Amino acid sequence: MHPALLATIALFVSTLCYASRCYLSPFGSCRKCQGKRRRGPRHCRRCDSTGLRLRVGRRLWNYVRHLHHDGR
């Protein structure tokens, strides 16, 4: 098989996996506090101490959905 075709298939499959992950669990754990809600003694401002953050793919999906909704 051609290497470029193989790379295209791999990219497509990984994108599909990521999209389904964003759909099934839109929240990932916060990278700043690793989902522990705190950074040492301090309150985590990145996730507002929820330990969760919205995945980039899901944020993109929400953006596209709003764009579509507003574009009527």
Closest CB to Zn ion among 45 and 66?
Answer: 45
CB of 39 to Zn ion, least distance (A): 7
Binding site for Zn ion (CB under 5 A): 30, 32-33, 44, 46-47
Burial annotation 51-60 (CB, 10 A radius, 16+ → b, else e): bebebebbee
Closest CB to Zn ion among 19 and 54?
Answer: 54
Closest CB to Zn ion among 3 and 40?
Answer: 40
Give the distance from CA 3 to its chain's centroid. 28
